[in-house]
Structure 1
């Protein structure tokens, strides 16, 4: 929690970016009850965003903010158009620090969420342009195959799910029923993906990734995509921008935004390939990653929590659509 509750406190931060708050209001995100502050000024509305430390990394919030700002500045320099206008602090930086908490400011984008196939095509173009903007990345090394890193983590979660080390099957009757019905299906889906990833072409692609680092947004969900009133698409919440796996990002975005709707999936992929055409091996890898039952693994880690119940309900209600989407991705991957 940033501790910004009073107008005077908000104004101290806002003035560092050259704006004066007349009113402010907190808005939630998928993860936090208070995630971003909308600031009303005489010049318009702005988003004051506290930057929260990613616990997966050992660095401080300020160090992570500095690195994220570096990525954003390179994107702005390259003319990337899918970031809301960002304000510079009086220090010349894209961020400021208050009591150890970093903040950054963008214009507030008024608009709607993803609704039709044209929106998804634009999202595909925005992602492809981002993934193409990675020249000058860090030098490659054996540890820099970002997709392989994620695959190793997911394999651990898959084994955990099959072995049920948490005792979830015994503790939670709802999870027990779901686990009994879908465990073998989840196992088959994952094992098919592992097999496809070992195929010669895909395995070579994974090995060679370390020499070609790519920049990713890191958290593309429906809530972080806004279609402005002028129909321009913006990606918001750039806290997790970094070098990472473009294949994992594309697979997760398809699952997180399209509701497994075939038209939306096809539009997003078509928009992406307008900017960055994919080789057949890349398609096969994306299809294999999309197929993985990630929500089942997450539910197994926290079987007694509210999140687990929501994941199980969502997977049950969308299982048929997921299987059809898997088939669609398979056909797309094998297209000549």
Structure 2
């Protein structure tokens, strides 16, 4: 239950939308105790979310970011994107309300279940492909986002290799990195070999001519299975960026390396947005990168990272099996691509 301070604040916020507040309940995320709020009003229940500035790779102010986010939400609404809960507009036509210097936005509250069935994952793939396609032709030019992302990953890989000798001497985690550290380097080398091949490289160079919106944070808690269909929530990171890496992140964040679920999600995606062979190589290679090991090593080197390491340790075998499955998926349409990992 939100305290009196929260209730007074939200009373003012909902009034901007022409509603009367009855009650407020706060919800925590992994990182914030009051990440979102469910408000009961005279017109039903809604979600209110404080908007926080995205710091990584972004120099815009909080206001500039919420303005840009709102413009993208407006585009999705105009194009009729079916997986976006209704984003409310204030009485004055705005997409957010500022309270104590913080922007807040309001959406319909969507009640439902989580991803379970194969059909759910296929629908998620379709929702992602629809998002990546829907505003085609109405977006400003983008940078070469996937190429930029791979540059960041190459830096992380370099740092991992530098840290590895020291981490191998640590108690506990050191044993795992002694056993699997070399394999992490091998996986990365194979991925770089594929990503730097001419065909995927051409795809990344041409990306500037095909700007697309991505959700930016498709995780299991952000996917709601409702009687009216599948909805994506928490749109704070909506932006123009790499669709290829969004596919990979979605697979990593939602499937638990389950190959049936991976297959269903990719099948649903390609029914609406088929991937040519070089694009499949790019996706499977980004999936191959041992990003979780890099993150765990960085955390261990700084005296943290135990949670990430435990997850890495627990899922490593399933991760390797999923990588092998992704290799086979990439090969299905490959007859003229020189490099496919074995």
TM-score when scaled to structure 2?
Answer: 0.92
C-alpha contact (below 8 Å) 2:163/2:301 kept by paired residues = no
In the alignment, the residues of structure 2 paired with residue 137 and residue 324 of structure 1 have an alpha-carbon distance, to the nearest angstrom, of 38
In the alignment, the residues of structure 1 paired with residue 213 and residue 250 of structure 2 have an alpha-carbon distance, to the nearest angstrom, of 15
Q: Quote the offset at 1:167 in angstroms.
A: 5.2
Find the counterpart in structure 2 of residue 311 from structure 1.
308
Q: Quote the offset at 1:117 in angstroms.
A: 0.6
- Residue 100 of structure 2 corresponds to residue 99 of structure 1: yes
Find the counterpart in structure 2 of residue 128 from structure 1.
129
- Residue 41 of structure 2 corresponds to residue 41 of structure 1: yes
- Aligned length, in residue pairs: 330
Match of 2:139 among 120, 127, 137: 137
Q: Quote the offset at 1:91 in angstroms.
A: 2.2
Find the counterpart in structure 2 of residue 201 from structure 1.
199
Encode CA deviations 1:236-287: one digit per residue, 9 max, x unaligned.
0100000000000001110110011111000000100111111111111000
Q: Quote the offset at 1:307 in angstroms.
A: 6.3
What 5-or-longer segments of structure 1 have no aligned partner?
none
Higher mean displacement: 255-264 or 293-302: 293-302
Find the counterpart in structure 2 of residue 21 from structure 1.
21
In the alignment, the residues of structure 1 paired with residue 278 and residue 80 of structure 2 have an alpha-carbon distance, to the nearest angstrom, of 30
Higher mean displacement: 108-117 or 314-323: 314-323
C-alpha contact (below 8 Å) 1:114/1:222 kept by paired residues = yes
Encode CA deviations 1:288-330: one digit per residue, 9 max, x unaligned.
0011111111112221679621221112211111111111111
What 5-or-longer segments of structure 2 have no aligned partner?
334-342
TM-score when scaled to structure 1?
Answer: 0.94
Q: Quote the offset at 1:6 in angstroms.
A: 3.3
Find the counterpart in structure 2 of residue 256 from structure 1.
253
In the alignment, the residues of structure 1 paired with residue 309 and residue 112 of structure 2 have an alpha-carbon distance, to the nearest angstrom, of 31
- Residue 62 of structure 2 corresponds to residue 61 of structure 1: yes
C-alpha contact (below 8 Å) 1:178/1:312 kept by paired residues = no
The runs of at least 4 aligned residues of structure 1 exceeding 3 Å deviation read: 2-6, 165-170, 304-307
Q: What is the 5 A alignment of 1:1-336?
A: 5-56=5-56, 57-134=58-135, 135-140=137-142, 144-164=143-163, 168-169=167-168, 172-228=170-226, 230=227, 232-303=229-300, 308-336=305-333
Partner of 2:52, secondary structure, is coil
Q: CA RMSD in A?
A: 1.9
C-alpha contact (below 8 Å) 1:121/1:270 kept by paired residues = yes
C-alpha contact (below 8 Å) 1:25/1:37 kept by paired residues = yes
In the alignment, the residues of structure 2 paired with residue 253 and residue 164 of structure 1 have an alpha-carbon distance, to the nearest angstrom, of 28
In the alignment, the residues of structure 2 paired with residue 69 and residue 307 of structure 1 have an alpha-carbon distance, to the nearest angstrom, of 36
Q: 1:306 to 1:236 in 2, by over 3 A?
A: farther
C-alpha contact (below 8 Å) 2:96/2:103 kept by paired residues = yes
In the alignment, the residues of structure 1 paired with residue 259 and residue 68 of structure 2 have an alpha-carbon distance, to the nearest angstrom, of 37
Encode CA deviations 1:34-59: one digit per residue, 9 max, x unaligned.
10010012321100000011112222
